[in-house]
Chains A and B, each alone.
Chain A
Amino acid sequence: MKNTVNPWFARIASLLLVSVLLLAGCSQTPAPAEPEGGTETDEETSVNTPEAKKDISVTVYDRGSVPAAEGTIEDNRWSKWLNEQGPANVKFVAVPRFESQQKLNVLFASSSAPDLIFEYAPHIKNPLIDQGLLMPLDDVIEEYSTTYKQMLEQYPALKKVGTKADGKIYEFARLAEVYPIHALLIREDWLKKLDLQVPQTTEDLYEVAKAFAENDPDGNGEKDTYGIAISLQSGQVVDQIFQATRWVVKDGTVTRNWDNFTAVTDFKKRLFDEGIIDKDFLNDKNGAKAKQDFVNGKVGIYPLQINWVSFAQNELTTLKKNVPDAVVTPIPYPKSPAGQFNPAFSNPVQATAVVNASTKNPDAVMKYIDFLVKPETANTLKNGIEGEHWKVGASGCPEPVSMDKRKAEVSWNGDFQMMSSTILDTKCGKLETGFNLSDPVQKEGFDMYKKAMQIYTDPSKPYVEITHPEHMPQLPEDIEAISGPMVKPIDDMFIKGILGGKGYTAEQTTKDAKDIWDKGNGKMIEDWFKQWYEQDSGNAFLAKDIYEVMEQQQSQK
């Protein structure tokens, strides 16, 4: 076919096309323009601060929970409020909550990481510290800080937690209330109906679970109930009841724990073989199926990771709707072959923020932190603006003016509060003020929480782990290279043990798992942990430190 198009037209058209493409490519490159240069001067005159506010960039977790009417997590009423009231011009950078590791790695790899980074996970922050990407803060605090410096003097634990292997402070931390974040819940009405006692030992736990599964406690004539749930988090709670955690302190030294894994694998294996649990628990990758069974009144014993207020508002409310006479109560962890333990606690001293080593304005970052830790700031972020969102209630604590308004405008801003030490507000900062006691179901949830505080924060029982996972030491790179590849094969081995049938005993499972460990040079990891425990654990925040804070907080009541 002959080309009938005018060649000049073709040339010009293609040139245009190419240049448009090129332009589109170029305009993507971020222009290093000065953001909000105009507002800067405005602020200056209106707020009347002596020196100009400096620009800083700060991360904020993005959970996709900001209502559309409020804008985005990077630009909304609270980001504006922090800019207006705070000491710096803050540009917020959203970090997807469950992809923060990838996002932060990419930001650092492309040297575009923000100045101030909010992150909980130590396994994300510690490698950044090792690589020198984060700033030591001792001088910054000394030189520029007021409020935070005071807090450090008052609560030395903040310093202990923020200090890393080289003896310098790298992390800003906050104080929080100690309360159980794991729980073992049981259907009290089922216990009564089948005339059973609260299980005292793990063997009792098995018997009760078996009875729940087989004796039709919901009375519908069908064998459709499960004794206990063990998918994901529930399984981890069962592990903790047996103290099946990798590292335990024995005779003054840290050892790799195997025996307790045998015990818990045997326990779960019996549950599986006898159909006491949902046999498809392995497919329930996030525990949603177990939760669904629980709120439908099909599970007798529910071990879980619990947020007490939201549990009362959601799971308990739904359960009560489905099964009006259901009674749920927390019970102490039964005595296992390894002993009887308290559940995992919230982290009382939690490191939440680090500073980029290449930040231009460390002074502004420090001032911003000082601003965030102030009780007034924490209170406003938590409750909203006085008069608009809350008023002083009968108890003397803030009470929402309108629940809907609170939900729409305030309740989603939790990720701006990562420096708030709410526990310092001894009167109104406690978790228990979050329950709405006029709602009967929430009142029940509140009673559960009170009971849990009593039975779970018992100083005479030991803590399951060496410390809260966020305070476990970071393995150096060469040890991590040995440890990392073995995690999954060993975890898989124990799951195989549960599902392996009669022919594959728990003892054999542990033997095979140990075999992987020995072949993979696990001895080196053990040696490293022993050395750490003997030499450096004095600087670490261990279980005894958690108990100390706990007792201190309880005596304040």
Chain B
Amino acid sequence: MAVRPSQTDAMSETRTSNRLKPSTVRLIKQNIPLMIMFLPGLLFYIIFKYAPMGGIIIAFKDFNLRDGIFGSPWVGMDNFVQLFNQAQSLQIIRNSFMISILGLAVGFPVPIILAIMLNEVRKLWFKRVVQTLVYLPHFLSWVIVGGIVLSLFALESGTINRWLEGIIGEPYPFMYEKVSWLIIYLGSGVWKEMGFAAIIYLAALAGIDPHLYEAGSIDGANKWQQMRHITIPGISTTIILLLILSVGKVMDVGFDQIYNLQNAVVSDIANVISLYIYQIGILRGQYSLTAAMGIFENLVGLVLILLANYIARRFNQGLW
């Protein structure tokens, strides 16, 4: 970048004065084009990301359409009190936690393993074919994946139950038993996203200096030892970065997946915050109540992300 050197110039010319230093003024002048180019991005974030956050005040109001966001009367913490007095709220929060944590535990290591395995593949064409095949499902919508899952596991028309009937003579209600449903839920999530999530690890793997492997093999390290002492430490920063980010989303079970896979029989474990917000907020118009739920969800997310970063910092791997 052409502007970089001038920055160091400005540093060396440090002078104390109350006004803007001439060097700073020059710096600003020089960078006007860049700043103007930065402006749309800044505006985008202010208008579409920060300004709408003001809307969360409806969680503390009795929101109605006529008075709008600002005109509706304040009700303090009433919405939160009502929310936590509802019998099902605790169950919903517990379900969201459980499903996410299980999803994280199952889904997080898979792309790493996949990326390392792909990295070890010697035949380039094979690597390419596999990589394309595993990341294709990412581009299918959950409506389609949900349809595939249903037609695989349905009781009467499901492919798998057809086989089972031939072998043991009886179908198994995969979608209606809690444990098998949960496995299918987690499995479909892993299947859909593992390939795409592996890309970022593959990029990190490409950044590891090949000399390290050379040195390792000269010193007699076998494949496993190379993997443990070179590959994994090499991508550990990426792993921790992504882990912190996904810990922040622990309360946030994506709507599409659970909406398309849930059914009434497993609602005891499948009823999560995003479904609740859809059913009560959007369909029944209780905006304030569900905004309160949204705030709660995000507060927990924030606490978790701070916590994860705090722990990571203990190991000198913190994000900030």
Contacts and interface: CB of A to CB of B under 8 A. Distances in A.
A133 B155 contact: no
A488 interface: yes
B289 interface: yes
A113 to B, nearest CB: 9
A519 B264 contact: no
Contact of A133 (B32, B65, B283): B65
A488 B279 contact: yes
B37 interface: yes
A101 B65 CA distance: 13
A512 B139 CA distance: 41
B141 interface: no
A105 B286 contact: no
Contacts of A519: 87
Contact of A131 (B64, B82, B155, B282): B64
B267 A492 contact: yes
A167 interface: no
A495 interface: yes
A1 B33 CA distance: 18
B265 A282 contact: yes
Nearest to B36: A14
Interface stretch (A315-323, A327-335, A477-485, A532-540): A477-485
The range of chain A's interface size is 35 or more
A15 B37 CA distance: 8
A485 B285 CA distance: 12
Nearest to A130: B64
A495 B264 contact: yes
A18 B87 contact: no
B176 interface: yes
A137 to B, nearest CB: 18
A246 to B, nearest CB: 16
Contacts of B40: 18, 21
Interface stretch (A2-10, A367-375, A428-436): A2-10
Contacts of A55: none
Nearest to B91: A489
Nearest to B262: A492
Interface string A93-111: 0000000011001001100
Contact of A495 (B82, B154, B155, B265): B265
Given A2-B2, A11-B33, A481-B82, A109 B68 contact: yes
Contact of B87 (A128, A480, A516): A516
Query: Chain A contact residues: over half helix, strand or loop, or mixed?
Result: helix
Interface string B282-304: 11111001000000000000000
Contacts of B282: 102
B152 to A, nearest CB: 12
Interface string A4-39: 000100110011011001000000000000000000
A142 interface: no
Nearest to A275: B156
A14 B33 CA distance: 6
B68 to A, nearest CB: 7
Contacts of A282: 263-265
Interface string A485-500: 1001101100110011
A485 B280 contact: yes
A111 to B, nearest CB: 8
6 contacts: A2-B2, A15-B36, A18-B37, A127-B285, A280-B154, A516-B87
Given A283-B154, A484-B286, A520-B88, 6 more contacts: A10-B33, A18-B39, A127-B285, A495-B265, A520-B86, A520-B87
Interface of B: 1-2, 32-33, 36-37, 39-40, 64-66, 68, 82, 86-88, 150, 154-158, 171, 173, 175-176, 263-265, 267, 271, 279-280, 282-286, 289
Q: Please provide the 10 A-B residue pairs with the shortest distance between their CB atoms, ordered closest to farther.
A: A3-B2, A495-B264, A492-B264, A279-B155, A279-B156, A492-B267, A280-B154, A131-B66, A484-B284, A11-B33
